[in-house]
Structure 1
Amino acid sequence: MSRPTGTPPPGGPDASDPASSTSTTTPGPARDEVDSVPPFWRLALYGLQHVLAFYAGAVVMPLLVAEGIGMRGQDVALLVNASLLTCGLATLLQSVGLPGIGIRLPVVQGTSTTAVPSLVSVGLAAGGARAGLPTVFGAVIAAGLALFVVAPVFSRLVRFFPPLVTGTIVTIVGVTLLAVAARQVGGGDPGDASFGAPAHLGLAAVTLAVILLLTKVSRGFLSTVAVLAGLAVGTAVAALAGRTDFSAIGPAGWLGMEAPLHYGPPRFETVAVLSVVLVMVIIAVESIGQFFAVGEIVGREVGPRDVTRALRADGLATAAAGALNSFPTTVYSQNLGLIRLTGVTSRWVVAASGVIMMLFGLVPKVGAVVAAMPASVLGGATVVLFSTIAVVGVQILVQADLRDQRNTILVATSLGVGFLPTAFPQFAEKMPGRQLQALFDSGIILGTLAAVLLNLFFHHLRLPRRLRRGRARAPGEGVNSVDGPAHYMQHGVRK
């Protein structure tokens, strides 16, 4: 297939890998920017900045599962350490890759909160606490292997994820995550009496001010670590004000990894496996949009074979996570905002963050230092990071033909549906069954499903000829849209 004049020659995460031969490069950062290896000290600092951006998510997920199935004490710490370790491993699989596995782009992976309701349900049904974990981990291993095997099927869904859909999904992710940022700005726990106090808002403001100031006045390296500097200054101010608790650092051990399958051989129960497989399908659908978003940010075209390799890495990482006493993994979208904000697109920086996260998982004392960061300080940074994700989504949507009324309705409806759980979480509580509760508890899942289904309805469902008669095309309809030749040229897929 010919390419437009002025378009760079085809390339991909690894030109020597036949799996990437169908990808093409779009205008953006040059190939060597993604594959370049910065000096060690830059790798360490840039990597640490990525870790701080997603550390909270990597810790919260196992805490939610542990609380849900009734785990206490050292078992909770073990699950947290295992989560940090598997986050690092999954990130390395995506960014560095193995033959036929991994997208080899700056993709950060971590444990998925989408899986929490199903995992808690499986654990409780199997006896709760320690007794239920072998069944939980068995289901996680089986679901990860299932995704690894069926990854090529998902890669064929590329044509159903044009810029119209991926832009909508990324925008929904950014808008939805702003609720998380707001909670962090207020102090983390809305039920706490001090939530929203001026002290919390002040710490968030200090962090945000440092980030904005460095972004404006600095150039080069300093501007790229503005988020890290903001977090450091915010934590220092919190410590001077007596609002940082370092008491957990002393008792924490230097080594904290337990053996694989610490809670016994995995149990593979049919209902439990099917429940987690369903969650993995939802995670995979979400991840496809995130893979395209990463490609958009770094200037690399993501094709079907890239998606296959990425999903294989996701499945393998999830299976390994189950063996290492952890849970399903997914793409961490907050790091997309960090890449866009800093302009540092090297996949080796993200690989460095994976190594650092694995070290945190192996050394609980180091993790305790990072965990001492006040939620409001983290909130000052996530306000920028999560908002940047929404901006990236809008930039992708610019490529879609929004003059077509169908596309406008698709974006508007998906955003509206995705915002419902954010505005009123009580909707989920009224749903019968844990699966429906999980669905209505996540605006990202609802918005993603709405965008995908509406795209199928508007652009792939063929109406009877008599119903299509007399329908006028909107100006420009079919150009750079899901039905237009520009889209299929862009994604390397013939209609």
Structure 2
Amino acid sequence: MSGQIEPVDEIMPWHRLIFLALQHVLVLYAGAVVPPLIVGGAMKLSPDQMALLINADLFAGGVITLVQTLGLWKLGARLPVMMGVSFVSVGPMIAMAANPNIGITGIYGSVIAGGLFAMALAPVMTRLLRYFPAVVSGSIILLLGISIVPIGINWAGGGVGSTNFGDPVNLLICFGVLALIVSLQRFGRGVVRNISVLIGIGVGYVVCLALGKVSFDSVAHAPWIGLVMPFQFGLPTFQLGAVLSMCIVMTVVLVESTGMFLAVGDIVGRPMTPRLMTRALMADGAGAVFGGIFNTFPYTSFTQNIGLLTITGVKSRYVCAVGGALMVGLGLLPKLAHVIASIPMYVLGGAGIVMFGLVIAAGVRMLSTVDFTGNRNNQLVVAISGAMAMVPLVAPTMFNRFPQWLAPITHSGILLGAVSAFVLNLYLNGADSRENAAVSARHTAVANGMEG
């Protein structure tokens, strides 16, 4: 038996390997390109800059997927995972984008610093999980969904500042996309169901093309092949509030990733040891550093691809490695990125309502595992952290008199809610309570729908 190859290390015929890898890329694709579209839209970037963000996102995601699946130095779990930008980072980066003293170079500086922080934190992360039970993790995921759903709603109307915001025809297309996605989830099977969001966006885009609502001006001038170079938006800058904000984000990302890696290890029959977990989380941190250098954002493993492992029964890490290589290739095709950047906002709105709403549902599902009857303190954790997360949404000027360097934290609902949930749970339930001792990582793996 010693010479028998484990399923996770199986190298299958190339034709099958490429087909399965392409399936993973298709499942990941819609979620992968959404964060740059959100952040780029918040910063009002030009189509060329948006295309650059998309190319960088795919390129860096492919590289860090290769690191996670194949291993490099002390990095990588050598498990079948696909890496993409974490939605946890989106809200804080939007808050940073709204601050003229930070800008995009400040965002990249914070991402690099946050990645270095995550790499330093990775070796001790398994001992810190007790401080993130389901009541904390579930609250954070729920609040994340609440924080980003307004983005999807504004997309549905055509985007903030759009001259034809709320146009009935555009809304009809938006809700047509939404209805198609829901129908594919109801009646679709296998891969069709897994890529329902991608199909919905594609059909909506074709309808817009037929109605003459898409401009290809930027596509025509884009080269077919282009390299993603470091610091294309300028050298990173480091602002204290932005750095602190991203360090909090990366802590949450590591908690989320821990649950996902535990789930993958169980699925493929390679249980996660402390050493293997450290390698996996170190790669997450290194992915953020790499992303900040190559014009993109923090990375984590995508949940929907974990589900695909179960559906297909294929456990080979080399499938995802080839998927990572395909992503690198896609990241070198500027014309494709320009096509994606030309998708009307209201088409994305139909998908955004589904995707962001599912984040809320995932948080609710995780909180359903929490004891609210026997431990009423948990109600206070959820209630107060929820109220704090609403402050930037309902009273955006509440903290304007605070020091400017705190703005990335005080203007981000998800960070205010996350810090509140963590501190309240520690105060009300204590560091050594039974609730905290029961590590919530496996609940995260099951209930977290953040990336899908």
* Band the TM-score falls in, shorter-chain normalisation: 0.7 to 0.9
CA distance in structure 2 between the partners assigned to 1:306 and 1:166 by the alignment:
23
Q: Is the 8 A contact 1:225 1:342 kept in 2?
A: no
Q: Percent identical across equivalent pairs?
A: 29
Q: Is the 8 A contact 1:257 1:362 kept in 2?
A: yes
Residue from 169, 182, 186 that aligns with 2:140? 169
State the Cα deviation string for residues 128-150 of structure 1 (Å, max 9, x = none).
99xxx6x9877765653443234
Report the CA distance between 1:305 and its aligned residue: 5.2
- Residue aligning to 1:329: 298
- Residue aligning to 1:90: 64
State the Cα deviation string for residues 328-351 of structure 1 (Å, max 9, x = none).
41448xx54786699758777765
CA distance in structure 1 between the partners assigned to 2:284 and 2:336 by the alignment:
27
CA distance in structure 2 between the partners assigned to 1:210 and 1:35 by the alignment:
37
- Residue aligning to 1:13: none
The residue matched to 2:85 in structure 1 has which SS?
Answer: strand
Q: How does 1:364-379 map to 2 (within 5 A)?
A: 364-379=334-349
Report the CA distance between 1:302 and its aligned residue: 7.2
CA distance in structure 2 between the partners assigned to 1:230 and 1:75 by the alignment:
25
Residue from 404, 408, 416 that aligns with 2:379? 408
Larger relative helix fraction: 2
CA distance in structure 2 between the partners assigned to 1:390 and 1:294 by the alignment:
18
Q: Is the 8 A contact 1:172 1:447 kept in 2?
A: yes
Report the CA distance between 1:57 and its aligned residue: 1.3
- Residue aligning to 2:124: 153
The residue matched to 2:227 in structure 1 has which SS?
Answer: coil
Q: How does 1:1-400 map to 2 (within 5 A)?
A: 40-61=18-39, 81-94=55-68, 97-98=71-72, 100-103=74-77, 104=79, 106=81, 108-110=83-85, 112-113=89-90, 114-115=92-93, 141=112, 144-187=115-158, 189-257=159-227, 259-260=229-230, 272=238, 277-292=243-258, 294=260, 300=266, 308-324=278-294, 326-331=295-300, 336=303, 354-400=324-370
- Residue aligning to 1:482: 436
Higher relative contact order (CA 8 A, sep 6+): 2
RMSD: 4.1
Report the CA distance between 1:55 and its aligned residue: 0.6
CA distance in structure 2 between the partners assigned to 1:76 and 1:490 by the alignment:
36
Q: Is the 8 A contact 2:33 2:54 kept in 1?
A: no
Q: Is the 8 A contact 1:164 1:397 kept in 2?
A: yes
Q: Is the 8 A contact 2:27 2:304 kept in 1?
A: no
Report the CA distance between 1:45 and its aligned residue: 3.8
Tell me: CA distance 1:288–1:119, structure 2 relative to 1, closer, same or farther (3 Å): same
Report the CA distance between 1:312 and its aligned residue: 1.2
- Residue aligning to 1:12: none
Structure 2 runs not aligned, ≥5 long: 444-452
Report the CA distance between 1:222 and its aligned residue: 2.5
The residue matched to 1:249 in structure 2 has which SS?
Answer: helix
Q: Is the 8 A contact 1:47 1:349 kept in 2?
A: no
Tell me: CA distance 1:296–1:231, structure 2 relative to 1, closer, same or farther (3 Å): farther
Tell me: CA distance 1:196–1:284, structure 2 relative to 1, closer, same or farther (3 Å): same
CA distance in structure 1 between the partners assigned to 2:23 and 2:362 by the alignment:
24
Please say which of residues 53-62 and 247-256 is displaced more in the overlay. 53-62
CA distance in structure 1 between the partners assigned to 2:278 and 2:392 by the alignment:
31
Q: Is the 8 A contact 2:386 2:417 kept in 1?
A: yes
CA distance in structure 1 between the partners assigned to 2:110 and 2:362 by the alignment:
35
Q: Across the two proteins, how many residue pairs are aligned to each other? A: 424
- Residue aligning to 1:447: 417
CA distance in structure 2 between the partners assigned to 1:355 and 1:308 by the alignment:
24
- One-letter amino acid matched to 2:248: I
The residue matched to 2:219 in structure 1 has which SS?
Answer: coil
Q: Is the 8 A contact 1:90 1:110 kept in 2?
A: no
The residue matched to 1:399 in structure 2 has which SS?
Answer: coil
CA distance in structure 2 between the partners assigned to 1:102 and 1:432 by the alignment:
41
Please say which of residues 72-81 and 251-260 is displaced more in the overlay. 72-81
Report the CA distance between 1:215 and its aligned residue: 2.1
The residue matched to 1:314 in structure 2 has which SS?
Answer: helix
Report the CA distance between 1:214 and its aligned residue: 2.0
CA distance in structure 2 between the partners assigned to 1:184 and 1:352 by the alignment:
33
The residue matched to 1:193 in structure 2 has which SS?
Answer: coil
CA distance in structure 2 between the partners assigned to 1:220 and 1:293 by the alignment:
25
Q: Does 1:422 align with 2:393?
A: yes
If the length of structure 2 is used for normalisation, what is the TM-score?
A: 0.77
State the Cα deviation string for residues 212-243 of structure 1 (Å, max 9, x = none).
22222232332222222212211111111222
If the length of structure 1 is used for normalisation, what is the TM-score?
A: 0.71
- Residue aligning to 1:10: none
